A and B are shown apart, each in its own frame.
Chain A
Amino acid sequence: MPNWHMAPMGEAALLIEHGSPEVAVANSAVIELGRRLHQCAAQAQIRGIESIIPAMHSVLIRFDPLQCSRVELERLVWQVADETASQHVNATANDLAVHSLNVIQIGVRYGGEAGPDLDDVARHTGLAPQDIIALHTAQPMRVLMMGFAPGFAYLGPLPVALNIPRRSTPRAAVPAGSVAIAAGMTGVYPARLPGGWHIIGRTDDVLFDPAQQPPSRIQPAGGVQFVRIGNDDWI
């Protein structure tokens, strides 16, 4: 409970931040809080919640101030946070395979033309390309949050050995399907987008299609297991 901090973001949104410095702890707490608030809205325990946006260590609630007051909303959040805290399990990435039904597989061609930065990452981390691929496919990654672009998921945590900062100069455009790592996280660019992460591979899977509901194969609070595919004789 004392871990939560609430602040208004204008009169139509409430930011709820978790105080833990550990991303894994804060993130699993905000995902659980977001899930429960979603239930409250669905069960009409409160009116006026328009969207719930979970992020790295915070949840943003957009609401209609004409349907519910910020004070009412804060009261509900405290109540839900309290319940969550008393039942909270300290989930780690390893629990994901066991607990989550929402892990999808994404096939990736690593290195070469598909992953132009794999060698750079090898130099930077001191790992062989084969080891980088093995670590990247070793276990499912958790969806920490979605954002930046429609269908883009921040996945993690990456094994510590793969921790490398963002590229010093971002690319103006990276191809759709690029699989990249940076800052302890990995992600797949669902469309041609500007990108500052290191591209180690590419998938041919379509990850975002606005004609579908939901529009994204990767689900908020879900997981992703990367799978190595295709011919990689280049190694």
Chain B
Amino acid sequence: MSQLQILNPGAVMTVQDWGRPGWEAYGVPRGGAMDPFALQASNVLVGNTFDAAAIEITGGGAEIEFVQSTVVAITGADFEPRLNHAEMPLWQATFVRAGARLSFGARRWGARSYLAVMGGIDVPLVLGSRSTYLPSRFGGLQGRPLQMDDVLSVGPGRDTAHLAGRRWPMNARPAYTVEPVLRLLPGPHVDLIAKDVLANLIRQPFKLALTSNRMGYRLEGATFPHTTSLPSLGVLPGVIQIPPDGAPILLMMDAQTTGGYPIVANVIQADLPLAAQLLPGDTMRFTLIPESDAVADYRTLNAWLRQCARELALEDEGIWMAANAR
């Protein structure tokens, strides 16, 4: 059993895993890591299952101390992480000694880093998941963001110290970038709003408003005011809905399960990791693609995760066999 202590949570720090699918009919959002790819990759690097709980670190300034030695990996955003003042590589499994301090500095790129720890963060399962759902204050650690002096336990897991140094290939990651171009499929209500809404969505950049959070991003740019009202219907992350004031809202992981605003487009699943790496004030663009491309790209991301997991497991096994042969 290993532990880590939060010395400084930075802007927002929460426990997140892959979320709690299957309770949407009760009004419970799936939630989970904003960047599911980065979460899963960080877990694979330290030898965890894909869906183990990690720490989602939003913004710089965070500081964490490891009480026991363990193996960790940071993926996603780059906030200049340093381990005992030495620069710590991202997308790599790293061995940390007992008492080591991990600190995050200024933002180089992105919004959310994922810190996976060998064994996974161990908080109680709530409806099958360890994800923190802040709007209803459940999951994670007592349903709240992590605070200074919180101590988190790490689950039992096999010792993966030999994985230290493993790197996630550069060419097996989403196309993370500043001002990403998020790819869209047309939504079910595109004809209920102005005819040219899709053409206008892809024409100019949009900026994330200050009020954006894990539930959704309010987008500043073109507006599409309307008076259409709809009976509530099920929604999911990636939906772009237009409230009467016309400023689009991109739903993210903690979005409510239902909504009543017209839905004009959906950001494809493969591009949600790109959206997850935006902060208020950042800009993005949109483009339209065919549905078959959306599925193909989602398949590619999944194939990368599975292939890297397989390769690491093979190496893992080889090292164990060699060790046992001795």
| Chain A residues proximal to chain B, CB less than 8 Å | 7-13, 15, 17, 23, 34, 50-60, 62, 65-66, 69-70, 145-154, 191, 208, 210-211, 213-216, 220
Contacts and interface: CB of A to CB of B under 8 A. Distances in A.
B25 A11 contact: no
A8 B30 CA distance: 20
B49 interface: no
B257 A147 contact: yes
8 contacts: A13-B234, A17-B188, A51-B30, A54-B25, A54-B234, A55-B232, A60-B233, A149-B27
B136 A149 contact: yes
B144 to A, nearest CB: 14
A148 B25 CA distance: 11
A65 B258 contact: no
Nearest to A13: B236
B234 A10 contact: no
Interface stretch (B38-46, B103-111, B295-303, B318-326): B295-303
B24 interface: yes
Given A58-B234, A60-B235, A210-B28, A65 B295 contact: yes
B9 interface: no
A10 B269 contact: yes
Contacts of A59: 234
Contacts of B135: 149
Contact of B26 (A12, A66, A150): A150
Given A53-B258, A66-B295, A150-B136, A60 B234 contact: yes
Interface of B: 21-30, 126-127, 133, 135-136, 138-139, 185, 187-188, 231-236, 238-239, 256-258, 263, 266-269, 291, 294-295, 298-299, 302
Contacts, number: 143
B182 to A, nearest CB: 12
A139 B302 CA distance: 51
Given A8-B188, A9-B187, A62-B236, A53 B257 contact: yes
Contacts of B23: 150, 214-215
A220 B21 contact: no
Contact of B258 (A10, A12, A13, A148): A148
A66 B299 contact: yes
State the 8 A-B residue pairs at the shortest beta-carbon distance, nearest first.
A60-B234, A147-B258, A10-B266, A53-B234, A56-B231, A7-B188, A11-B294, A210-B138
B25 A53 contact: yes
Given A50-B21, A54-B25, A216-B26, 10 more contacts: A9-B263, A10-B185, A11-B269, A51-B24, A53-B234, A66-B299, A145-B258, A147-B232, A150-B26, A150-B27
Contact of B295 (A11, A13, A51, A150): A11
Nearest to B21: A50
B291 to A, nearest CB: 5
A10 B135 CA distance: 25
A9 B239 contact: yes
A34 B25 CA distance: 10
A58 B133 CA distance: 26
A215 B266 CA distance: 29
DSSP class of B's interface residues: helix, strand, loop or mixed?
A: mixed
Contacts of A53: 24-25, 234, 257-258
A38 to B, nearest CB: 9
Contacts of A208: 136
Nearest to A54: B25
Nearest to B259: A147
Nearest to B22: A51
A122 to B, nearest CB: 27
Nearest to A50: B21
A81 to B, nearest CB: 17
B188 A11 contact: no
B291 A11 contact: yes
A13 to B, nearest CB: 5
A10 B187 CA distance: 7
Contacts of A7: 188
A17 B21 CA distance: 22
A108 to B, nearest CB: 20
Given A147-B232, A215-B28, A55 B258 contact: yes
Nearest to B290: A11
Q: Which of B24, B27, B126, B136 has the most CB of A within 10 A?
A: B27
A58 B25 CA distance: 12
A210 B126 contact: yes
Given A10-B268, A12-B269, A55-B232, A149 B256 contact: yes
Contacts of A215: 23, 26, 28, 127
A8 B291 contact: yes
A202 to B, nearest CB: 19
A60 B251 CA distance: 16
Nearest to A154: B232
Contacts of B25: 34, 51-54, 146, 220
